[in-house]
Each structure stands twice: as structure tokens, then as C-alpha cells.
Amino acid sequence: MTSPAENTDILSPEAQVTITGRNVEVPEHFAERVNGKLAKIERLDPTLTFFHVELQHEPNPRRESESDRIQITATGKGHIARAEAKEDSFYAALETALARMERSLRKVKARRSISRSGHRAPQSAGVVAAELAAEAEKVRADQGKYDVDPYADSVEDVVPGQVVRSKEHTAIPMSVDDALSEMELVGHDFYLFINEETQRPSVVYRRHAFDYGLISLVGDEA
């Protein structure tokens, strides 16, 4: 028998959803749960049009607590949000990934609201400070999960300093604030972009506490 609380998960977002599995089959009841959760995530950003959820089971006795991996990619109008989690079950990984995506979307929503209002800092500073403190605690709690090389099991011939993955992205000039928002959406600690003010390759990155850094390349004009 299904309880009323469980019934709330039997929802479907308006955005298109695809759920795929690598080394694992996706049962229907789990797919329903994913759709119900994504319907709630969609409310944070109505511009989202597509969700891709990928499940992967990694049978590694050394990492039983991180054997089930879920990556959620949400595509909207001109932006992409991504969150990933590894836990001892797909249910736990789903909750962790969703929580990370929700935090990212809320932070970006707040940043854009501040930008539109013309204020450098939100008026409800006390509330935001409390949220930032809670976010910092969650980051510190999760730090240990990122100390392991995610590609350690995908490279057969391990060579020190080997490049195991490469990517190319379209370079679209944007502002520093937009770059910070994109960094939050994809859940990374840095973001490479073309600074629209200088037209130079630049990187924004996280520093200690709640600060960010900016690095730009300058040609040798001597």
C-alpha cells in the first residue's frame, strides 16, 4: 500500500526526461521516483526543457560505499546544470545528487535576483549568511568524497601524469557574474570562459570561505 507521502513522488515534470543505465537496468518504480523528484526540481527553474539521468554501477570491492553513481544533467535556455553523486545505493545517490542540484539552482537564482536589483549584496543579509554557513558545512562534509581520482578504474595502463580525459567547449564570451553562475550550475570548483570585457581566456574559481578568484591570460606584448 502506498502512503500519501509516497504518492507525492508520482509526478512528471513538463521537461523531457531520459533515464539510462550503464551496467544496470532501471526498474519502473525507480524511474517513477526520479520523475517525481525532477518535477520538484523543475519548479526552481521553469526554463529547464530536458533532464538526462544516468545510472552506473561500479563493482569495486574497495569502494562499496560508492558503488552506485548517478549523474543528472538539466538543460535549459542557454545553460546547463549538472550534479553527480556516488553512494552505496541508487536511492541514496539520487537524493544526494538532487540536493546538490537544488543548492546550485537556488544559489544561481539568488545571484541573478541580486544582479537584476542592482544591489551588490542582498538586503536580507542575515538569512543569506545563515544559508552560506550551512552550505559551507555541507561542502566540508563532502570534501572527502572528492579526494579519490574518479578515473582511477577507467585507465588500464596507469602512467603518472597521464591525460585520461579531454573536452572541447564552444567559447561564448560572457561576464564574470555569468561565469560564476555557470560554475555553480555544473557543480565545479572552476569555470573556463572568454571574458566579454577583455576578450581574454579567463577562469573563475572558488577560494576559501565564500570568496571567488579570477585568472586571466595576458599575451606577452613586450
Give the CATH number of the domain where residue 94 resides: 3.30.160.100
Label residue 20 by pLDDT band (50, 70, 90).
Answer: very high
Helices 28-42/90-117 angle, 10° precision = 10
Q: What is the dihedral of CA 204, 207, 213, 215, to 10 degrees?
A: -70
Contact 17, 34 (CB under 8 A): yes
- Would 137 be classed as within a structural domain? no
CB atoms within 10 A of CB 141: 9
- Domain span at residue 40 reads 16-115
Convert the pLDDT of each residue in 92-128 to its tens digit.
999 999 998 888 888 777 766 665 555 544 444 455 4
Q: For residues 106 and 70, which has the higher predicted lDDT (pLDDT)?
A: 70
The number of distinct structural domains making up the chain is 2
Residue at 42 is within a domain: yes
Condensed to tens digits (0 to 9), the pLDDT of residues 142-151 reads 544 444 444 4
Has residue 91 been placed in a domain? yes
Alpha helices in the chain (DSSP H): 4-7, 28-42, 90-117, 125-142, 176-186
Q: Is residue 160 part of a domain?
A: no
